[in-house]
Structure 1
């Protein structure tokens, strides 16, 4: 549900969201095993929805679980396990649950499961990636067996959208062991080996209707060439994270490309809580080394949109179009490095294939830095374990952020002082106050003004460089049918399994 639509309903004194049915456009072709290779996995892979943080986690989560809502191709909330959301003030919400839904073990879904699933995000021991959102909950209680009431600490018209993110998928009350999955999703978990593979089998009793695939095997092939060769040889049916340079070869070989234009990005991360990032001139100099036009043309072959070191894309209604574009300027960078006392210094920068094209971006920055009087040394680390061992832990490195449905969500998860993924360790009390004010306001003009200021603040102060918003490129066998681009992310927003089918060979 778009925020503007929600606010319009609020102005009329009430807000209700009704369910929407699932209506596949073609007759199901049932059966077969789809084999899918992503770019990265590790022993930190999880079946706990609260801890999901990677593409392979999201893909598994969407197979085994459902949320109260789900996000459509345009980031609007559609009803899922919830049948309706009702509120008059965007602060107190009543959620009516869908009847006839069962977990994979046969137990019916009840309000107790929803209350348990939402409350556990507040437990520090769980380590939820959505805790920063759950902290908005003042009270969560069951209303009988088929309804839940959520009281927020402050108004938030985005609640149906927030509850559609992967971490808020619903588990059975009392679940503490995630060696397997017991959800309400379209597939049952028949095998899960973290860092190795998972196997999902069709849930014949899925409440939304029949699923077409018989099975889905999901694993990782970190090496890009090996991943592409596996597709070409027929060993896999769908692969993620395709190098734009290889698209022509794949198309000529008869393998379609799924081009998803998104607000996701690969970002330069400079930790502000340690040297050399604790010097603002060093940070400004590094941002001036981002040659966005060359990156778009040479690295991404045009499959990207120029960004401006803040995370709101031009397609977003809150995009600050008047924010001056930061230019590629090695001489300006030299000026800042001189002020920082860094001319001639050697600075390591960590790159990895799993942070999409960070290795190629690093090479361009290394060349520009040499002209600016700084020696950047690239340290390439393996994809396996990068997110656990290197991301947000090294002084200078890279991240890779998937699309988020609202400005509030991206700012809350990545830039607020309590953000679980505050990549550069940036803290600004005014930013935090304004973010809360925008979240609770029903004044659209005020909200737009606040989000504009937040973009300026991130651009000027955070230790993040965002050069481009990226298209996600996936490649697949012609046998795979039903794939379509969704702005929510690659592989149909990591929700491909319940929508696709295999043609007979």
Structure 2
């Protein structure tokens, strides 16, 4: 989710960034990218029923106030935004036919499609877009998109098919920032959990909170007709029973596969897996950068060198991910990855020397603050780090606590937690604006403050030229790489499991599953 910082159980800690949702936002001149941006899907038959499951239920249907990442599977099935990410990560038009920015990147004009109707038959106009944005922007609305649209100062209709949005600060990637701002019918809010009025390929025929949602084709949809007669999204009891049901053919798709089960799924001829091409879900370990010893950059760099990333990836995450030796939230195949970056590959002698310069010596203790009864991979990673630090005489004390106690130690940003390392998991769209927006002052629980970073980030955000933007985002990465506000051992991959006859399913970098054109093989 774009998305959000995720913690186990019922707590979701939101890391809200200024902007970003997707690989790139626009062409170099700030206008709409060429091409229709539609994702490539295999040929599917018309009709049939697809049943999709996860162990998390869907408690409500309002896309504005989503509570769990799994709810996002519904959003592109039921609603549209002005823009969207396609399968390649490009940001392309959705309800808009195109967009253009002013020279200062602070005024964005979106031209709308004129053939879109809500499922109740009413035409969608610019007034609906304005009303939806005003609902998102209302301070009484709790939404995870708040940080991405915080710079919006006004949204107005310029005729029935044009919307003008003004920003407080320049944002050359604004279309990427709003892909998860879905244009709902605000007049339908009172019935949205019973009979939502939608614009997407499907509509709701039945919803039981935390149990199932049944979707059927929306006859008013302006795009390609939904392939299926029915799409069911259900809650599974647990991951073991879900996999058994998938093998038996009672389920067609499991969103999040237990990492320990992935190899067996991939070896089963009746099943297959889907994962993001460009992952943007990463493991992060947080320090309090305002308190000793981690107020000293050398102590943070020392931890970066002390992490045996290969061991963590293989033992804690079953090999499902990519190493992040430069401590970067962007994966190495992200088009914005770059800069002159230090490689922090495992080197205990460098770690020992840097710790000593920071005043951390043999006999000292650092505390790992994890969760009890959840996230076993965090404990495995802690034990790997503990063994490495022991080799240079430093003790890592592992303390696991109930989730709310764990979160209360460091969340929200601004709390002091000296001498602690806190594991977490972040999932953002692969846009650098979003990934690095979390590092901005007041947002990261690491409490990092860097005027140099803030200046570089703002310069990159305001740059409309693609080549120049790549260079400026490289500068941002160089600062983060040098300063190590967080430890990022690896990019983690969420893996969905499917029956082999299911086609048209794809996954965004942050794990959002797309089923808009999913169906059964022809």
TM range (shorter): 0.7 to 0.9
The structure where helix makes up a greater share of residues is 1
Instruction: Identify the range of structure 1 (269-278 vs 323-332) with the bigger mean alpha-carbon deviation.
Output: 269-278
The equivalent position to 1:257 in structure 2, one of 273, 279, 282, is 273
Partner of 1:290: 307
Q: Deviations over 1:127-181 (max 9, x none)?
A: 22222221222321011222111223344332222222x2x11111355545354
**1:21-71, Cα deviation, whole Å (9 max, x unpaired):** 868652542131413225x458xx553333446430211222221111111
CA contact (8 A) 2:278 2:334 kept: no
Q: 2:432 aligns with which of 401, 407, 430?
A: 407
What SS does the corresponding residue of 2:186 show, helix, strand or coil?
A: coil
Aligned to 1:36: 53
Following superposition of structure 1 onto structure 2, how do residues 76-225 of structure 1 map, counting pairs within 5 Å? Answer: 76-89=90-103, 90-164=105-179, 166=180, 168-174=181-187, 176-177=189-190, 178-180=192-194, 181-192=196-207, 194-221=209-236, 223-225=238-240
Q: How does 1:231-246 map to 2 (within 5 A)?
A: 231-246=246-261
Q: Aligned with 1:256: secondary structure? A: strand
CA distance in 1, matches of 2:331, 2:450: 22
Q: How far off is 1:107 after superposition?
A: 2.7
Paired position in structure 2 for 1:272 = 288
Give the RMSD, CA atoms, in angstroms. Answer: 3.7
Find out whether 1:320 has 2:346 as its counterpart: no
- The match for 2:395 is 374
CA contact (8 A) 1:66 1:184 kept: yes
What is the deviation of 1:306? Answer: 2.0
SS of 1:206's partner is coil
Query: Is the contact made by 1:277 and 1:463 (CA closer than 8 Å) also made in structure 2?
Result: no
- Whether the aligned pair in 2 keeps the contact of 1:118 and 1:134 (CA below 8 Å) is no
8 Å Cα contact 2:330-2:430 kept in structure 1: no
Cα distance change of structure 1 residues 343 and 329 upon mapping to structure 2, 3 Å threshold: farther
Query: Is the 8 Å Cα contact of residues 49 and 232 (structure 2) preserved in structure 1?
Result: no
- Partner residue of 2:88? 74
Structure 1 portions without partners, runs of 5+: none
Partner of 1:435: 457
Match of 1:458 among 445, 469, 480: 480
Partner residue in 1 for 2:78: 64
Tell me, yes or no, if the aligned pair for 1:289 and 1:368 is still in contact at 8 Å.
yes
CA contact (8 A) 1:264 1:402 kept: yes
Counterpart-to-counterpart distance in 1, 2:304 and 2:391: 14
> Following the alignment from structure 2 to structure 1, what is the Cα–Cα distance between the partners of residues 85 and 388?
40
Counterpart-to-counterpart distance in 2, 1:3 and 1:232: 38
Give, in whole Å, the separation in 2 of the partners of 1:204 and 1:411: 41
TM-score by length of 1: 0.82
User: Which residue of the partner structure matches residue 17 of structure 2?
Assistant: none
Equivalent residue in structure 2 for 1:474, among 478, 493, 496: 496
Structure 1 residues 374 and 175, CA, compared in 2 at 3 Å: closer, same or farther? farther
Q: Could you tell me how far 1:91 is from its partner in structure 2?
A: 3.4
Matches of 1:387 and 1:329 in 2, distance apart? 30
Could you report, residue by residue, the CA deviation over 1:82-135 in whole angstroms, capped at 9, with x for unpaired residues? 122234524332212112322233332121221122233333321222222212
- Kindly state the Cα deviation for residue 325 of structure 1 after the two structures are TM-superposed: 0.9
Structure 2 residue aligned with 1:397, among 418, 422, 430? 422
Query: SS at the partner of 2:276?
Result: strand
Q: Is the 8 A contact 1:351 1:362 kept in 2?
A: no
Q: CA deviation at 1:502?
A: 3.3
Query: Alignment partner of 1:228: what SS?
Result: helix
